[in-house]
């Protein structure tokens, strides 16, 4: 499925420039609301929300989530004798949406006039969404008063299900972090979370699968309940039958591997279904109140490729094996009252869609020729949008050099015009894969974009949405965050391209790839060479390092100045932000991490230049020439030692920031140690090591400390040969 990230472009028929790009009415008055409401009638003037207002909740209990959220957001009390009231009421069919009941219940009307505000929801979720809109509208005017515009809004979503993707393959967020994420997601009217658990859940039926410290049944249910109160379903995603290294790496399950590969399980072995059904049951028992299970089927490259399979391994039987798997899992989930979502893609053939259960949901529409058969079968679809593919450190949110679209622009076009509209779409999925180990705080711009355009496709424009997000997410006093995001992206892409990519010395070749066993087994390491150290002081080397890496050095000079601007902008934003300061803290840690890379390149160039200067000195019996030579070599050694220590310090700071929201990666808990085994096919950067040090692996491969030690040995040898007293 991830190999098809941009396949949806084949289904686009209307170019982006044909969409109206004028500001929405609320934004033209300076009021950001995400998602953009369907109907807005703005009147002149604003209403001041002061201490004379209170909440009238009618039949709603005082602890109702809509009442609590509004009271906390506006620092208000419930009504006693106040004359200015915010009325909250649930009244079915008060807003006519033209959609089915699942859309109707999410609709609301917000009416703001002098002395009275009415929030009316068709259902409980609609009321909650109306409260979120009022809270987004509330802002401080020039006099510091809280104001909202006089307005009437009728609003409802276009698509029923609006998924954000929590992929925790290579990290585990803290429970309080996930609750904070749910609060933030609720603010933007998200109602679904695809929670990719892998081994971050402690499966009671198979304790060895859960990683040390994995969420228990009660902990996962606690997260689910927190979401349900906010009208968000936390839907478990169970990776199978592919991407199963988290299970198949354990010796007790090794005989379930397909042809010996820990990436793929044997779908022809009945014991696989015993295992998976018990895992599904464990997760279902820990997610009570949720209606769905995402049964994955992600990148099932080798369905039926197992000695236990009776049919020959070919395209038709591979597709039929995929169908058999889906039908068996579907039957089990249906008995447990769960609707099944899948990634419908390779190896499924369109001619076999008629064999699939009609109530499954296709999360990706992997091929254009699936649409017709899915319509005939009654299968619903999600519009799939990747907000992260394989980028390092920071996603490609915006278009880059050469005008190439990136994730936000692509999501706008795809949600509005993608081929899912030729089917029967039920929702949208904003994917954010953990393959490259990006911090979840880098995803919020993309996550909310998918939710916003799934609610109201085509509104607002990419430019307006991006500006609204910055103001909504950080607060109205923060300025320049769009430039911060662009600088973060620019720095990350430059960081990626200023390494050598060489055949891997650390990771064995893969079992195979999408194309078959033994094909595409090459894996790469990122590294840089170190400047050459020679033990002959009268040797005059060519400037090998600075010539080889001239383009890296030129880039580092440019990016170092850019990084300085980025860090200054982030520091300024800390003092301005009203919300989400931790997000800025993560960005700052990443900015410093990338800034260190530019220092590394420039200091290695400096070290080689110093060595050349030293070796260019005419060596004779004059003590001052010898001392000058040694002084220059010592400076080269100190330069590399210092940049090495700087890297360790900056990485330690980054790790500390990350672990404010995450548990330590690959942690050991209660005597249990994380079992780190590489996936036989997928070479995810975040899986290169058990802990977070995968981020430092490229720099560690240079062996800076060993380089400095080697140079010190040269210095000591010269001191001994010339009877020169040693200096530190």
- Can you tell me the mean pLDDT for 409-423? 95
Give the pLDDT score at 58: 87
Give the pLDDT score at 7: 36
**Do the beta carbons of residue 607 and residue 639 sit within 8 Å?**
yes
**Do the beta carbons of residue 426 and residue 160 sit within 8 Å?**
yes
What is the three-state SS of 179-207? HHHHHHHHHCCCCEEEEECCCCECCCCCC
Name all contacts of 327-333 with Cβ < 8 Å and 24+ positions apart. 327/355, 327/356, 327/357, 328/273, 329/240, 329/273, 329/276, 329/280, 329/295, 330/295, 330/357, 330/360, 332/273, 332/277, 332/280, 333/280, 333/293, 333/295
**Do the beta carbons of residue 394 and residue 491 sit within 8 Å?**
yes
Task: Output the six-digit token pair for 420.
Answer: 């899912």
Over 50: is that where the pLDDT of 11 sits?
A: no
- Can you tell me the mean pLDDT for 283-308? 96
| Superfamily name and number for 159-471 | Glycosidases (3.20.20.80)
Give the pLDDT score at 537: 53
CB atoms within 10 A of CB 724: 16
- Can you tell me the mean pLDDT for 9-37? 71
Over the chain, what is the mean pLDDT? 92
pLDDT grade for 134, boundaries at 50, 70 and 90: very high
Q: What are the C-alpha distances in Å from 502 to residues 533, 662, 678?
A: 22, 32, 19
- Can you tell me the mean pLDDT for 369-387? 96
pLDDT grade for 404, boundaries at 50, 70 and 90: low
Please determine, looking at this structure, whether the domain spanning 36-155 carries the CATH number 3.30.379.10. Answer: yes
- Can you tell me the mean pLDDT for 217-237? 98
**Do the beta carbons of residue 514 and residue 3 sit within 8 Å?**
yes
pLDDT grade for 630, boundaries at 50, 70 and 90: confident
pTM of the model: 0.94
Helices 581-616 and 623-658, axial angle in degrees (round to 10): 160
Q: Where in the sequence of the chain do the CATH 3.30.379.10 domains occur?
A: 36-155
Over 50: is that where the pLDDT of 566 sits?
A: yes
- The residues pairing with 383 across neighbouring beta strands, listed in sequence order, are 428
User: What is the DSSP track for 366-402?
Assistant: -SGGGHHHHHHHT-EEEEEEES-SS-SSS---S--GG
Task: Output the six-digit token pair for 545.
Answer: 């390092």
Give the pLDDT score at 10: 34
Over 90: is that where the pLDDT of 387 sits?
A: yes
What is the three-state SS of 478-505? CCCHHHHHHHHHHHHHHHHHCCEEEECC
Over 60: is that where the pLDDT of 3 sits?
A: no
Instruction: Give every CB contact of residue 29 below 8 A, 6+ residues apart in sequence.
Output: 42, 149
Give the pLDDT score at 383: 97
Predicted confidence (pLDDT) per residue in 422-476, tens digit? 999 999 999 999 999 999 999 999 999 999 999 999 999 999 999 999 999 999 9
Three-state SS at 452? helix
- Nearest C-alpha neighbor of 500 from the set 699, 645, 705, 703: 699
Give the pLDDT score at 623: 60
pLDDT grade for 599, boundaries at 50, 70 and 90: very high
- Can you tell me the mean pLDDT for 261-289? 97
Higher-confidence position of 519 and 237: 237
Give the pLDDT score at 589: 98
Dist CA 169 CA 237 (whole Å): 11
Give the pLDDT score at 724: 85
Angle at the Cα of 193 from the Cα atoms of 191 and 196, rounded to 5 degrees: 170
Q: What backbone torsions phi and psi does residue 74 show, to the nearest 5 degrees? A: -110, 5
Over 80: is that where the pLDDT of 6 sits?
A: no
Lowest pLDDT segment from 19-28, 121-130, 399-408: 399-408
Lowest pLDDT segment from 24-33, 106-115, 513-522, 551-560: 513-522
Over 90: is that where the pLDDT of 626 sits?
A: no
Predicted confidence (pLDDT) per residue in 501-549, tens digit? 999 988 889 998 888 888 888 999 999 998 887 655 555 556 789 999 9
Give the pLDDT score at 696: 97
Q: Where in the sequence of the chain do the CATH 3.20.20.80 domains occur?
A: 159-471
Side-chain half-sphere of 260: how many Cα atoms within 13 Å?
A: 5
Give the pLDDT score at 534: 66
Predicted confidence (pLDDT) per residue in 700-715, tens digit? 999 999 999 999 988 8
What is the share, in percent, of the chain residues with pLDDT greater than 90? 83
Give the pLDDT score at 16: 40
Instruction: Give every CB contact of residue 41 below 8 A, 6+ residues apart in sequence.
Output: 151, 152, 153
- Nearest C-alpha neighbor of 191 from the set 157, 235, 161: 161
- Nearest C-alpha neighbor of 157 from the set 291, 292, 36: 36
Predicted confidence (pLDDT) per residue in 38-92, tens digit? 999 999 999 999 888 999 998 899 899 999 999 999 987 665 666 799 999 999 9
Dist CA 537 CA 534 (whole Å): 8
């Amino acid at each position: 499925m991830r190999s098809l990230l941009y396949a949806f472009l084949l289904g686009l028929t209307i170019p982006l420039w044909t969409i109206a790009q004028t500001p929405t009415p609320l934004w033209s008055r300076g009021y950001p609301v995400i998602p953009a409401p369907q109907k807005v009638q703005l009147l002149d003037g604003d209403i001041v929300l002061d201490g004379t207002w209170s909440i009238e909740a009618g039949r709603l209990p005082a602890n109702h989530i809509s009442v609590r959220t509004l009271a906390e957001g506006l620092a208000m009390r419930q009504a006693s004798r106040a004359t200015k009231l915010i009325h909250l009421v649930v009244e079915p069919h008060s807003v006519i949406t033209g959609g089915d009941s699942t859309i109707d219940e999410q609709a609301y009307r917000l009416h703001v006039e002098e002395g009275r505000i009415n929030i009316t929801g068709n259902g409980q979720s609609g009321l909650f969404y109306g409260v979120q809109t009022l809270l987004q509208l509330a802002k401080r005017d020039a006099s510091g008063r809280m104001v909202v515009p006089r307005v009437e809004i009728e609003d409802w979503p276009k698509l029923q299900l609006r998924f954000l993707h929590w992929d925790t393959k290579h990290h585990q967020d803290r429970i309080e972090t996930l609750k904070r994420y749910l609060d933030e997601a609720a603010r933007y009217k998200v109602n679904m979370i695809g929670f990719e658990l892998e081994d971050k859940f402690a499966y009671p039926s198979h304790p060895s699968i859960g990683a040390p410290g994995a969420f228990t049944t009660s902990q996962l249910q606690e997260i689910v309940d927190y979401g349900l109160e906010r009208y968000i379903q936390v839907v478990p995603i169970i990776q199978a039958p592919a991407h199963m290294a988290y299970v198949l790496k354990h010796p007790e399950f090794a005989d379930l591997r397909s042809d010996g590969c820990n990436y793929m399980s044997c779908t022809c072995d009945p014991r696989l279904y015993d295992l998976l059904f018990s895992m599904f049951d464990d997760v279902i028992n820990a997610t009570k109140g949720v209606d769905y299970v995402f049964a994955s089927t992600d990148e099932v490259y080798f369905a039926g490729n197992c000695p236990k399979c009776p049919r020959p391994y070919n395209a038709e039987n591979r597709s039929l094996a995929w169908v058999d798997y889906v039908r068996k899992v579907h039957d089990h989930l249906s008995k447990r009252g769960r609707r099944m979502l899948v990634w419908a893609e390779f190896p499924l053939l369109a001619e076999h869609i008629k064999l699939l259960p009609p109530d499954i949901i296709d999360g990706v529409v992997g091929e254009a020729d699936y649409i017709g058969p899915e319509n005939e079968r009654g299968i619903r679809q999600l519009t799939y949008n990747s907000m992260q593919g394989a980028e390092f450190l920071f996603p490609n949110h915006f278009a880059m050099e050469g005008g190439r679209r990136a994730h936000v622009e692509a999501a706008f076009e795809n949600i509005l015009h993608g081929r899912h509209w030729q089917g029967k779409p039920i929702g949208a999925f904003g994917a954010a894969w953990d393959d490259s180990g990006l911090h979840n705080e880098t995803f919020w711009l993309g996550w909310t974009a998918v939710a916003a355009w799934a609610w109201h496709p085509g509104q607002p424009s990419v430019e307006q949405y991006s500006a609204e997000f910055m103001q909504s997410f950080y607060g109205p006093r923060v300025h320049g965050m769009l430039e911060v995001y662009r600088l973060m992206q620019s720095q990350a892409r430059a960081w990626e391209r200023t390494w050598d990519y060489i055949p891997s010395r650390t990771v064995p070749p893969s079992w195979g790839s999408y194309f078959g066993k033994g094909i595409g087994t090459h894996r790469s390491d990122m590294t840089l060479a170190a400047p050459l150290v020679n033990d002959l002081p009268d040797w005059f080397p060519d400037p090998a390092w600075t010539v080889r890496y001239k383009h890296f050095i030129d880039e580092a000079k440019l990016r170092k100045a850019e990084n300085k601007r980025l860090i200054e902008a982030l520091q300024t934003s800390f003092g301005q932000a009203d919300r989400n300061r931790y997000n800025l803290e993560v960005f700052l840690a990443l900015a410093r991490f990338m800034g260190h890379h530019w220092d590394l390149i420039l200091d290695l160039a400096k070290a080689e230049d110093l060595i050349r200067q030293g070796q260019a000195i005419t060596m004779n019996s004059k003590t001052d020439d010898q001392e000058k030579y040694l002084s220059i070599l010592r400076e080269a050694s100190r330069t590399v030692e210092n940049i090495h220590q700087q890297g360790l310090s900056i990485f330690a700071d980054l790790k500390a920031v990350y672990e404010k929201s995450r548990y330590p990666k690959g942690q050991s808990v209660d005597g249990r140690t994380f079992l780190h085994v590489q996936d036989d096919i997928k070479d995810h950067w975040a899986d290169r090591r058990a802990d977070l040090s995968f981020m430092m692996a490229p720099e560690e491969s240079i062996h800076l400390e060993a380089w400095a030690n080697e140079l010190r040995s040269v210095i000591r040898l010269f001191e001994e040969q010339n009877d020169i007293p040693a200096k530190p």
